[in-house]
Amino acid sequence: MKEIRLLIVDDHQIIIDGLKSLLEDEAGIRLMGEANNGKEALDILKLLDVDIVLMDIDMPIMNGIEATKHILKDFPNVKVVILSMHKEGGLIKNLISIGAHGFLLKNSDQAQLVEAIRKVASGDKYFSPEVTMSLLNKTSINTSTLNGIDLLSQLTERETEILKLIAEGFSNKEIGEKLFISHRTVDTHRTNLMKKLDVGNIAGLIKLAIQNGLVS
């Protein structure tokens, strides 16, 4: 299995040290470096091969939003996971539109952090349940129903059930426990949902669920 090379970017050393302690014993994850602002992160990426950047938002000199834009433009093979205490729907939508590959809150536990890193490294997107709920509560989400009804008619009963639970903010593990199936089975259903509904991320699934009345 390919080693996941990580860069941590945060202007608080105590946060960096905490993340390092959470990840130091995780097999297959290697910390390549740390930076205290976006500019430092860009300088490091010019020197080191990195797969994933864990990116804070509020930082001096260059904030995480600007740094993410530069990284996705100048280092297309590098993926960015936002790690922040902010969960405003508008901010999250902005970062998703920029191209961020994941969004975690700083109160996430070790399991969520590791899951996010591994999922993004494997080519998936990851948004924590709290972030998903913030998107659901964002009143500016467009709720017009495009061709969603026709698309939803393609889904099996189980797929519709899982789509509803995803849109309500439940994690793969929680959905698996509710439906008495493994989290890997849930992940397979989620991948199939994205293909059938022609969306590229969890936010797209949530939007479709809202548009078609699966959640209020």
Q: Which residues contact 4 (CB under 8 A, 6 or more apart)?
A: 28, 29, 30, 51, 52, 117, 118, 121
Domains held by the chain: number = 2
Q: Is residue 39 part of a domain?
A: yes
Residues 69 and 156 placed together within one structural domain of the fold: no
Q: Which domain holds residue 107?
A: 4-129
Please check whether residues 45 and 115 belong to one and the same domain.
Answer: yes
Residues 160 and 123 in one domain: no
Domain endpoint, select from 129, 161, 188: 129
Handedness of CA 48, 53, 56, 57 (dihedral sign): positive
- Domain boundary pick from 97, 129, 161: 129
Same domain, 39 and 124: yes
Higher pLDDT, 159 or 50: 50
Are both 34 and 122 inside the same structural domain? Answer: yes
Is the separation of the CB atoms in 141 and 210 below 8 Å? yes
Reported as a single tens digit per residue, the pLDDT across 5-62 is 999 999 999 999 999 999 988 999 999 999 999 999 999 999 999 999 999 998 889 9
pLDDT of residue 136: 56
State whether 95 and 175 are in the same domain. Answer: no
Residues 11 and 109 in one domain: yes
Residue range 85-106, pLDDT digits in tens = 877 767 777 787 888 998 998 8
Question: Does 137 fall in a domain?
Answer: no
CATH of the domain at 109: 3.40.50.2300
Spatial CA neighbour of 48 closest among 5, 10, 77, 16? 5
Asked if residue 216 belongs to a domain, the reply is no
Residues 6+ apart with CB under 8 A from 213: none
136 in any annotated domain: no
Based on the domain organization, do 189 and 120 belong to the same domain? no
Residues 111 and 166 in one domain: no
